[in-house]
């Protein structure tokens, strides 16, 4: 689920009430609650709904979930933000203007200007900068970036990148960033999913550079598929990504998918259904449903987990996939896990998919009539 930023004047008591509501929803075994807990509470990320409901879930667990839904690592960090905000907490500022370390901020300014010589001299003076991380909280991602990750311009800060950004990135890598595997992987993921590198036509050379320095490409390929960045996926495949079931599903490679399906895991099939539904690959969706994949499971974490396959297919206008999912038992009344709690029909309406919206509304009405017949009198029941 996308992180829900705090309002301009957050109220800690209101957030405490939200945590208590989540605690009650867990006790009531509500599916939306299970998905929120799985996505945001680190202890439950690999758990099934049943395991989450059967676990001892305390108020402190609910508070941690609420804090992470808001983009904070802990309830204590969320509380600190409300009671003692700092420059880094000003979400209305671009990320580089929220950096409190002046040496780090200067390095980002040099990066943004494409000043290769100035950046090299600055990193020689402050060699530890390439290993340091800055902390941003309250957003969806980019919460503990290194300097290297700023080369992706993702999230968007200025809307552009210098023409020599590949050379800039190489300076940072050679100054020591190449030793940080996590930073390499994160930078590759940001480049592969960012619109600015693509629009500036530097995404492919940046991908090649980061992979040459040892970034692991598979995670970036999956993220790129979830964000419709197919050029990036092709580049990552050239850089060594193995074509597995999930990637084949996202790309609609039916023959490869059929060969890989028999030996696939539950996690792979879950991810594959999410991507195939999002991208409208009806035959792959059909094969997964025939193999027993549940169309009413929320999508896995990092694959638009706040929604179901039906939400995604409806929003992107994949009529055949929508009908296929419904015919295999997908519930059109399932709500997403955002505060708006939208149904697939709501998503279709938001994206202007009128025919799909009307179909899903009809299916919702049919479902209500099946489970709530108008005439519930004893005579009707006997008849």
With H, G, I as helix, E, B as strand and everything else as coil, classify residue 100: coil
Q: What pLDDT, in 10s, does the model give residues 112-141?
A: 999 999 999 999 999 999 999 999 988 878
3-state secondary structure string across 294-339:
CCCCCCCCCCCCCCCHHHHHHHCCCHHHHHHHHHCCCCCCCCCCCC
Contacts 24+ apart (CB under 8 A), 286-291: 286/324, 287/257, 287/258, 287/261, 288/249, 288/261, 289/324, 289/325, 289/328, 291/261
Q: Do domains 95-242 and 247-371 have the same CATH topology?
A: yes
Question: Averaged over 178-191, what is the pLDDT?
Answer: 97
Residue 1 has pLDDT above 70, yes or no: no
Measured CA to CA, the distance from residue 210 to residue 222 in angstroms comes to 16
For the chain, give the percent of residues with pLDDT over 70: 96
In this structure, are residues 70 and 78 in contact, taking their beta carbons and an 8 Å threshold? yes
Question: Averaged over 249-267, what is the pLDDT?
Answer: 97
Q: Which fold has domain 247-371?
A: 1.25.40
Residue 52 has pLDDT above 90, yes or no: yes
Measured CA to CA, the distance from residue 250 to residue 225 in angstroms comes to 6
Residue 229 has pLDDT above 80, yes or no: yes
Q: Is 0.85 topped by the overall pTM?
A: yes
Q: What pLDDT, in 10s, does the model give residues 54-67?
A: 999 999 999 999 99
Residue 379 has pLDDT above 60, yes or no: no
Question: Averaged over 141-164, what is the pLDDT?
Answer: 96
Question: Averaged over 47-57, what is the pLDDT?
Answer: 96
Cβ neighbour number for residue 81 with a 10 Å cutoff: 21
Which CATH number applies to 95-242?
Answer: 1.25.40
In this predicted structure, what is the pLDDT of residue 90? 87
Cβ neighbour number for residue 243 with a 10 Å cutoff: 15
**Average pLDDT along the chain:** 94
How do the domains of the chain map onto residue ranges? 18-85, 95-242, 247-371
Residue 111 has pLDDT above 50, yes or no: yes
HSE at residue 71, side-chain half, CA atoms within 13 A, is 20
Q: What pLDDT, in 10s, does the model give residues 273-297?
A: 999 999 999 999 999 999 999 999 9
């Amino acid at each position: 689920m996308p992180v829900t930023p705090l309002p301009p004047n957050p109220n800690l008591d209101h957030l405490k009430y939200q945590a208590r509501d989540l605690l009650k929803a867990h006790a009531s075994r509500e599916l939306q609650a299970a998905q929120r807990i799985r996505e945001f509470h680190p202890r439950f990320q690999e758990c099934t709904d049943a395991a989450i409901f059967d676990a001892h879930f305390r108020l402190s667990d609910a508070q941690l979930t609420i804090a992470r839904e808001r983009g904070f690592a802990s309830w204590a960090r969320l509380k600190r933000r409300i009671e003692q905000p700092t420059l880094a907490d000003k979400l209305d500022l671009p990320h580089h203007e929220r950096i409190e370390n002046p040496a780090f901020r200067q390095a980002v300014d040099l990066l943004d200007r494409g000043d290769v010589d100035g950046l090299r001299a600055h990193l020689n003076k402050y060699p530890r900068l390439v290993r340091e991380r800055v902390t941003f909280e309250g957003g969806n991602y980019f919460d503990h970036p290194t300097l290297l990750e700023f080369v992706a311009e993702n999230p968007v800060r200025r809307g552009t990148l210098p023409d020599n950004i590949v050379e800039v990135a190489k300076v940072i890598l050679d100054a020591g960033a190449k030793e940080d595997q996590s930073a390499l992987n994160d930078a590759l993921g940001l480049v592969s999913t960012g619109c600015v590198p693509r629009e500036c036509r530097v995404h492919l050379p940046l991908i090649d550079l980061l992979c040459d320095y040892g970034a692991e490409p598979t995670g970036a390929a999956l993220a790129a598929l979830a964000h419709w960045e197919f050029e990036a996926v092709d580049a990552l495949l050239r850089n060594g990504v193995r074509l597995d079931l999930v990637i084949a599903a996202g790309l609609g490679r039916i023959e490869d998918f059929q060969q890989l399906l028999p030996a696939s895991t539950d996690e792979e099939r879950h991810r594959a259904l999410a991507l195939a539904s999002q991208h409208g690959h009806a035959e792959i969706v059909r094969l997964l449903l025939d193999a027993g994949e549940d169309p009413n499971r929320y999508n896995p974490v990092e694959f638009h987990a706040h929604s179901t396959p039906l939400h995604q297919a409806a929003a992107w206008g994949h009529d055949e996939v929508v009908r296929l999912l419904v015919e295999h038992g997908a519930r059109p009344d399932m709500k997403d896990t955002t505060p708006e709690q939208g149904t697939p029909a709501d998503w279709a309406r938001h994206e202007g998919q009128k025919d799909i919206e009307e179909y899903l509304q009809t299916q919702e009405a049919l479902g209500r009539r099946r489970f709530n017949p108008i005439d519930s009198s004893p005579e009707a029941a006997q008849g």
